[in-house]
Amino acid sequence: MNSDILYERSKKLMPGGVNSPVRAFGSVGRNPLFIDHAKGSKIYDVDGNEYIDYVCSWGPMILGHGDDRVIGAVQDACENGLSFGAPTEKEAILAELIKQCVPSMERIRLVNSGTEAVMSAIRVARGYTGRDKIVKFRGCYHGHSDGLLVKAGSGALTQSVPDSAGVPLDYTKNTLVAEYNDRDSVSRLFEENKGEIACVIVEPVAANMGVVLPEEGFLEFLRSITTDNGALLIFDEVITGFRLSLGGAQEYYGIVPDLSTFGKIVGGGLPLAVYGGRKDIMDMVAPVGAVYQAGTLSGNPIATAAGIATLRILIEENERGLYDELEKKGSILADGFRKSMGDYVWVNQIGSLLSVFFTKEPVRDYESAISADTKIYARYFNAMLEKGIYLAPSQFEAMFISAIHSEYDIKATIDAILLTGKIW
């Protein structure tokens, strides 16, 4: 197996043979596939196997792989040079497109990764409010910056503790952890830390503990409690942006956050992410304001070209009902899982985001998400892989459906579920 040979070779060079931990397939008990290429809804490993891809690079490839229009735009951009470290028209074009889709993005800064976008947005919120503490939700992921790698202090502990070695306690002591969909847990933090909380950051639809939907009124509640307490509301739309609708979760749910972060889709598969929001808040950022944030490759012309092409296509396809189609595919797939696996699983789905949890209880927060049986998930993952379906190698990641997944792909996937038999 060429994948196995490459894995052995890579392990001697990189920690775990990979450049991002989940790629190592650790939680599904097998070696990772090494990818040769991908086109449309299909991904091909170095051993020549073809799979229907539901990872889609963890979200960016909403148009499917190797879209000719995006690749053409990238090739054209390359002809003009790879990076200048000076402003270009492309940055303005991309910012205009983002603002057109997401009106709350009055001022925008381009960066290179979701991690960087969130880290910067939080710095701005702290600079603007003059407060240090932030609130995040257990099970929501916002990249790997020090202050966000926290777990909630248990029981008597009121202080959050680092969730990674190498993160000093001092870096996480200002990160307060609330429970997703639990308003009381948020109210309590605001009562205990009056006048000290700079912002609440949330994935408006959580998609990093598997997909977990906000319950009715939860996001509205976050909007009002932050406003009432002089804190900012940050929507981390790195996954939901341009996926739930052209205007992201904020359009879908009709909530206007103060700041937002985007990544994944907005770069069309190249390293590009965005933070931005209210003009008066974003004017805190250097060189206008006192919050420092910079980047050598920020707004890079090649990544920007991929982002522009992707957003233009999404805007065009939206007119033809793209997001309704994605919702339809998502719900057909979700129903397929529910029908074939019945009471053994809990399925959460919204638009083109989907998770199948191997638990009988409704999944509405971190606690219920981790009640899922990861051993059964591993069996299910491997059974599906054998049938040519490439799923996320972890129970706690979303399935991503792209515009190019066909009815036939969806049907083949449902057939594969039936063929796996009762592995649960």
Ligand X SMILES: *Cc1c(COP(=O)(O)O)cnc(C)c1O
Residues labelled as active-site residues: 141, 236, 264
Near ligand X by CB under 6 A, which window of 73-81, 97-105, 107-115, 125-133?
A: 107-115
Cα–Cα distance, 132 to 191 (Å, whole number): 16
Q: Report the chain's terminal Cα–Cα distance, integer Å.
A: 29
Please report whether residue 115 would count as binding ligand X according to CB under 6 A: yes
Cα–Cα distance, 386 to 229 (Å, whole number): 53
Q: Which residue has the tokens 């009432």?
A: 228
Near ligand X by CB under 6 A, which window of 45-53, 190-198, 235-243, 314-322?
A: 235-243
DSSP 210: S
Q: Residue 218 CB: number of other CB atoms within 10 A? A: 20
Q: Which is nearer to ligand X, 115 or 181 (CB)?
A: 115
Q: Which is nearer to ligand X, 19 or 406 (CB)?
A: 19
Please report whether residue 109 would count as binding ligand X according to CB under 6 A: no
Cα–Cα distance, 171 to 383 (Å, whole number): 42
3-state secondary structure of 402: coil
C-alpha 235: how far from its chain's center?
11
Size of the site for ligand X (CB under 6 A): 14
Please report whether residue 118 would count as binding ligand X according to CB under 6 A: yes
Q: Which is nearer to ligand X, 255 or 416 (CB)?
A: 255
Please report whether residue 142 would count as binding ligand X according to CB under 6 A: yes
Residue nearest to ligand X (CB): 114
Phi/psi of residue 350, nearest 5 degrees: -150, 125
Please report whether residue 394 would count as binding ligand X according to CB under 6 A: no
Please report whether residue 134 would count as binding ligand X according to CB under 6 A: no
Helix (H) or strand (E) holding 348: strand 346-350
Please report whether residue 369 would count as binding ligand X according to CB under 6 A: no
Tokens of 44: 């091909």
Q: Which is nearer to ligand X, 162 or 263 (CB)?
A: 263
Please report whether residue 113 would count as binding ligand X according to CB under 6 A: yes
Strand partners, 199: 134, 232
Please report whether residue 143 would count as binding ligand X according to CB under 6 A: yes
Please report whether residue 238 would count as binding ligand X according to CB under 6 A: yes
Helix residue ranges per DSSP H, 274-365: 279-282, 301-319, 322-341
Indicate which single residue of 208, 298, 304, 402 sits in contact with ligand X (rule: CB under 6 A): 208
3-state secondary structure of 44: strand
Tokens of 10: 């890579």
Near ligand X by CB under 6 A, which window of 7-15, 74-82, 236-244, 292-300?
A: 236-244
Q: Which is nearer to ligand X, 178 or 341 (CB)?
A: 178
Indicate which single residue of 263, 277, 301, 307 sits in contact with ligand X (rule: CB under 6 A): 263
Please report whether residue 136 would count as binding ligand X according to CB under 6 A: no
Q: Give Cα separations from 364 to 136, 239, 371 (angstroms).
A: 16, 18, 11
- Bond from prior residue into 287 cis (ω within 30 degrees of 0): yes
Q: Which is nearer to ligand X, 43 or 207 (CB)?
A: 207
Please report whether residue 236 would count as binding ligand X according to CB under 6 A: yes
Interacting residue ranges for ligand X, rule: CB under 6 A: 113-115, 118, 141-143, 203, 208, 236, 238-239, 263, 273
